[in-house]
Amino acid sequence: SLPTTFDKPVSIAVIGGTGLGQLEGYEPIAVLNPVTPWGSPASPIQILAHNGTHIAFLARHGVHHQYAPHEVPNRANIAALRHIGVRTIIAFTAVGSLQEEIKPMDFVIPDQAIDRTKGIRPFTFFEGGVVGHVGFADPFDKHLAQVIKTCAAHLDGDGVVLHEKGTVICMEGPQFSTRAESHMYRSWGGSVINMSTLPEAKLAREAEIAYQSICMATDYDCWHSFEDVNVELVIKYMKSNVGNAKRLIGGVLDQLSKAEHSDLVQAKHWAGASQGAVKFM
Ligand code: ADE
C-alpha cells in the first residue's frame, strides 16, 4: 500500500468530476487524507508522478460518487489541496450545452460564470471573525486558460473540439432545469450549465489559487428538442470522452511542468488577493 505522507509541496491539482473519478496512466506515489478545519475532503488526495513533477488528484464527488453536487465538501476540498501546497487547479466538469454549436463531447474553457446555486452550500472561508472580500469579476485564471487552449489546439483534428470561451451557469440541482429555466439561461448568454463550478471557484480565489474549469459537454439540456437530459446520457458521453480528457490533461501538465510556467503554477499573480486572511494550516 502507498505511503500516507509526502514531504514536498505539490503545486498542481486536478479535480475530477462525474465520469473522471480517477486519473489512470500516472505513477501513484502517495495517498493523503488531510483533515481540515472544514472537515475531510470528498476523497483521499492521490499524489501522482508525471515527468519528474508531482500532481495531486481529488475526486470531487468522492471515490464512489457518494456526494451529490449540493453535498460536495467544497471548503474541505479546497483547503486540503491548499494545505499540501496546491496553487493551481484544473477542474473537470460535465456540463449541459445551452448553445447549438456546443455539441455533446465538445470541450469548453469558460471565462465567465453565473451563480444560480441557492445559498445552501457553504460558500466562503470568510466568516466567524475572519472578514475579507476577494475580487471575482473574472472567476477563472486567464493564464491557465491560455495554456489549456494551446494544448487543445494541438489535439484539434484528433477528435477534440474546444470552445475557447463561454459562460457557465452553475445551478443548485440536483434536479435538472425546467424547460423555461433552460430558455432563460440561453437568453442570459449562458453557454453551458452544471452544478459544480460554484462555490468551488470562489473558494479557490479566496485561497489564492489559480483555477480554471474544463467543461465537457454531455447533453443539450432540455431547451433543445434533441433529447432531454438524463443521468444515463451524461455518463454515456463522459465515458466516451474520458480518453480525450486524459490526453488534454497530459498535455497541460507537460506544459505546466516547464520552468517558464513556474510563476503561474505558484499563483504569484494571486498572492495577496485575500490579504492572507485565512490560514490553511
Ligand atoms: N451536468 C451535465 N449536464 C447538465 C445539465 N444539463 N444541467 C445541469 N448540470 C449538468
What confidence tens digit (pLDDT) does each residue in 105-125 have? 999 999 999 999 999 999 999
Q: Mean pLDDT for the chain?
A: 92
pLDDT for res 143: 95
Residue 71: CB atoms within 10 Å: 13
Confidence category of residue 230, pLDDT binned at 50, 70, 90: confident
- Please state the atom number of ligand 1 nearest to the C-alpha of residue 69: 9
**Residues annotated catalytic, as ranges:** 219, 221
pLDDT for res 281: 65
Question: The whole model's pTM is what?
Answer: 0.95
pLDDT for res 177: 97
Give the Å distance between the CA of 16 and the centre of ligand 1.
Answer: 16
Confidence category of residue 277, pLDDT binned at 50, 70, 90: confident
The pocket around ligand 1, CB under 6 angstroms, is made up of: 94-96, 171, 176, 193-195, 218-219, 221, 229, 234
Query: What's the rounded mean pLDDT across residues 163-188?
Result: 97
Alpha-carbon distances of 176 from 32, 94, 191, 225, rounded to whole Å: 34, 13, 16, 16
Residue with the smallest CA separation from ligand 1 atom 8 is 194
Residue with the smallest CA separation from ligand 1 atom 2 is 95
- pLDDT tops 90 at residue 130: no
- Please state the atom number of ligand 1 nearest to the C-alpha of residue 171: 8
pLDDT for res 157: 67
